[in-house]
Chains A and B, each alone.
Chain A
Amino acid sequence: MVHLSADECKDVSAVFSKVNVDQLGGESLASLLIVYPWTRRHFKTFGNLSSTDAILHNAKVQAHGAKVLGAVRDALKHVANLGGHFAHLSDLHCQQLFVDPANFKLFAGIVSIRVGQTMRQAYTPHVQASFEKFLDAVTDALAKGYH
């Protein structure tokens, strides 16, 4: 199990306090769909995803991205038991949505990049290390329900 130190948790908390989670979440999901186009297959009910412009202006993408990143932010309070905290979402992604867990890592990578873009100087190597470690712990917990 990934263990985050108190300092690392502080770094992660600082990141979430400095970014607009809704906006960052929406942008990150939009970027995922643009940068890795095969991921669009998971969002067929979201309407028009046929171009970069369509994706960037798609309200469902924005709303869902906000929801996902909000859940990631809220997970920080449960960092000692992420497996338990994400059990139902892990089941959902595995048993119903059939999402390859590799996609969680792709999304996490994009979130880190977007945080770097937003926080700029403040996203030091040290903060990046703490934040990516947290995202790793989240993606591991989400992948737990897969056999």
Chain B
Amino acid sequence: RSSDLKHPAPKAKMVHWTAEEKAAIHSVWKQVDVEKDGQETLSRVLITYPWTQRYFSSFGDLSNAAAICNNPKVKAHGKKVLAALGGAAQHLDNIKSTLAHLSELHADTLHVDPENFKLLGQCLVIVLARKLGAAFTPEVHGAWEKFVAVSCAALSKHYN
């Protein structure tokens, strides 16, 4: 009977992380200062890619690099963003559902072009590379690029 030939429910496609990649992501994350590194990451986005300032018109003075680096709303928001990524780092096997609510928020309410997620990812990796120096080996770099790419994809999922 056809019901006997029912196909099993398709497994959700999971990102495969090697043990080394997981170790690299976790060991770097241990050294992250969510407040300081979050502030620096978001500041760099707003300074290096000035068009992104359009999303933060309620943040007050973003008129030059010094204003951005000292802006308390940028600091608070940078911390929030990096904490959310930290959540994803703690749930590497489930990044999609960990970031699902944020994907909805950015798509449906904030209307953020998902290209911007990659810009933040680039700045985050630069902040980490500056912080870790030689410890940011190409293998560690590779693991973090993958983490950033998977997180960006998860954040973009809710967009049509």
A31: which B residues are within 8 A, CB to CB? 138, 141-142
A121 contacts B47, CB within 8 Å?
A: no
B interface residues, how many (CB within 8 angstroms): 24
Cα of A31 to Cα of B122 in the assembled complex, Å: 14
B129 contacts A114, CB within 8 Å?
A: yes
A125 contacts B141, CB within 8 Å?
A: no
| Contact A132 B141, CB 8 Å, known A125-B65, A126-B65 | no
Nearest residue (CB) in B for A133 is: B48
B141 touches which of A55, A113, A120, A126 (Cβ 8 Å): A113
A34: Cβ under 8 A from any B Cβ: yes
A112: Cβ under 8 A from any B Cβ: yes
Q: Which residues of B from 88 to 142 have beta carbons under 8 Å from A?
A: 122-123, 125-127, 129-130, 132-134, 136, 138-139, 141-142
The prevalent SS among residues of A at the interface is helix
A114: which B residues are within 8 A, CB to CB? 129
A117 contacts B132, CB within 8 Å?
A: yes
Cα of A132 to Cα of B47 in the assembled complex, Å: 11
Nearest residue (CB) in A for B146 is: A35
A128 touches which of B44, B68, B138 (Cβ 8 Å): B44
A34 touches which of B43, B127, B142 (Cβ 8 Å): B142
B48 contacts A129, CB within 8 Å?
A: yes
B125 contacts A125, CB within 8 Å?
A: no
B130 contacts A117, CB within 8 Å?
A: yes
B126 contacts A35, CB within 8 Å?
A: no
A interface residues, how many (CB within 8 angstroms): 25
Cα of A124 to Cα of B154 in the assembled complex, Å: 30
| Contact A125 B138, CB 8 Å, known A112-B122, A113-B125, A116-B126 | no
B32: Cβ under 8 A from any A Cβ: no
B153: Cβ under 8 A from any A Cβ: no
Nearest residue (CB) in B for A30 is: B138
Q: Tell me the minimal C-beta distance from A105 to chain B in angstroms.
A: 10
B139 contacts A52, CB within 8 Å?
A: yes
Nearest residue (CB) in A for B132 is: A117
A119: which B residues are within 8 A, CB to CB? 130
Nearest residue (CB) in B for A131 is: B48
A109: Cβ under 8 A from any B Cβ: yes
Binding site for B on A (CB under 8 A): 27, 30-31, 34-36, 52, 55-56, 109, 112-114, 116-117, 119-121, 123-126, 128-129, 132
* Sample of 27 A–B contacts (CB below 8 Å): A31-B138, A31-B142, A34-B138, A34-B142, A35-B138, A35-B141, A35-B142, A55-B138, A109-B122, A113-B141, A114-B129, A116-B127, A117-B129, A117-B130, A117-B132, A117-B133, A120-B133, A124-B65, A125-B43, A125-B44, A125-B47, A128-B44, A128-B47, A128-B123, A128-B126, A129-B47, A132-B48
